[in-house]
Amino acid sequence: MFKLLKKNMRFTFASLIILGILSLSYCDQNNSDTADSNTKNSNTAYIQKGKTIASATFATLSGNLQKAMKEGGVPNAIKYCNLNASPLVDSLSQVYKAEIRRTSLKVRNPKNKPTTKELQQLEKYQKSMEAGEALKPLVQEIIPGTIAFYAPIHVMPLCEKCHGKAGETLKEEDYQVIQQHYPEDKATGYASGDLRGMWSISFKK
């Protein structure tokens, strides 16, 4: 019992650290030259809301991922990188009345393929990344009354175990298991620091 408590506390603590790191790296605010101050204020509020949802979702996912990896390696942890398979992420989207997605130029699950608007933003992030610029979260009114929040997702060392270079950071036998589940997988070859994709979180104004 005590052991279990200790374990849970460790994960809660890890999530807090991650939240802290995320909020630090998300410090930059979006500024539009043409926006009047009212729009700016509401944009800031929407960006804040998006960041809160992304941080909470990430903390949930990565806590589960790390626990499952420790218990049974990559084959055991595969299902924990799927937002739709997480009841906690599901309740987060209900609490915030938001659609929570992650997408990428190279997806593992075809369901995460970018929409036309997402693709445009992913390409912008990719270009900025190549130009050595800082990538900032931003918001857009995608359809009247609906706000989309976008924020970059970077690769960390933990991610390489499933998204790294096959035969190197991503073990060959793990890669085979991943391919069995995701025959159309394109999400490998990444190194720590790379742009993996982005959050796409939408909610009503």
Q: Which residues bind ligand HEC (CB under 6 A)?
A: 62, 65, 74, 77-78, 81-82, 102-104, 107-109, 112, 153, 155-156, 158-159, 161-163, 187, 196-197
84 residue type, one letter: N
Nearer to ligand HEC, 31 or 180 (CB): 180
CB-nearer residue toward ligand HEC: 67 or 102:
102
- How far apart, in whole angstroms, are the C-alpha atoms of residue 157 and residue 46? 30
Cβ-Cβ contacts under 8 Å for 201 (sequence gap 6 or more): 50, 53, 54, 98, 99, 100, 101, 148, 149
User: Closer CB to ligand HEC, residue 100 or residue 138?
Assistant: 100
Report the residue number, 40 or 113, with the smaller CB distance to ligand HEC: 113
Length of the chain: 205
Find, among 104, 107, 130, 129, the residue nearest to 119 by Cα.
Answer: 104
* Shortest separation between residue 86's beta carbon and ligand HEC, angstroms: 10
- The Cβ-side half-sphere exposure at 151, using a 13 Å CA radius, reads 25
What is the smallest separation between the CB atom of 103 and ligand HEC, expressed in angstroms?
6
CA distances from 143 to 113, 126, 154 (A): 19, 24, 27
Query: Phi-psi bin for 203: left (phi > 0), alpha (psi -120 to 50), beta?
Result: beta
State the first-to-last Cα distance of the chain, in angstroms, to the nearest integer. 45
In the DSSP assignment, the letter for residue 193 is: T
CB-wise, 31 or 192, nearer to ligand HEC?
192
* Smallest separation, CB 31 to ligand HEC (Å): 26
Ordered DSSP codes for 139-159: EEEEETTEEEEEEEEE--HHH
Nearest to ligand HEC of 103, 202 (CB atom): 103
